[in-house]
Amino acid sequence: MRRMLTGGLLLLALFSFGSRGDELAVIVIANRTVQQSSLPLETLRAIFAMRQRTLPHGQAVHVFVLPDDHPVHEEFSKKILGVYPHQLRLAWDRAVFSGTGQAPNEVENEAEMLESVASTPGSIGYIKQSSLNDQVRVLDIE
């Protein structure tokens, strides 16, 4: 009985480990004109909450996001920014409706995200690591 329990637990652990490899690996990308190679997490949060409109060296930043219900947006919001997608949407809506800010530029999919970030100087966005190409640069998070 003990061997079956141990074997079952080992099998469960292997399935759990295997499914972690299937999780979305989301990375932050930027236009090649962006001078930074990394950003502090708090700066990244402020940029995507639309509270900060420039990068640390003063360059204007253009933010691109995927739709609220897109799996990559959900993963980015929760795992990287540490907020739920609806919390970001509330912050954007509040800024827009109060006249104190604007919402980010929304794109439909990762291909459009890559194209938009690659063609817009000073832009920032996110994609799955497997979607990365050489048109954009990866920003590390400090």
Query: For 118, how many CA atoms within 13 A lie in the half-sphere containing its CB?
Result: 12
* Whole-angstrom distance, CA of residue 47 vs CA of residue 2: 53
The one-character DSSP state at 1 is -
Its pTM stands at 0.82
Q: Which residue in 79, 78, 96 sits closest to 87, CA to CA?
A: 78
Q: What is the pLDDT of residue 121?
A: 97
The structural domains of the chain, ordered by start, are 24-141 (3.40.190.10)
pLDDT tens by residue, the chain, 142 residues: 544 444 444 434 434 343 334 446 999 999 999 999 999 999 999 999 999 999 988 999 999 999 999 999 999 999 999 999 999 999 999 999 999 889 999 999 999 999 999 999 999 999 999 999 999 999 999 9
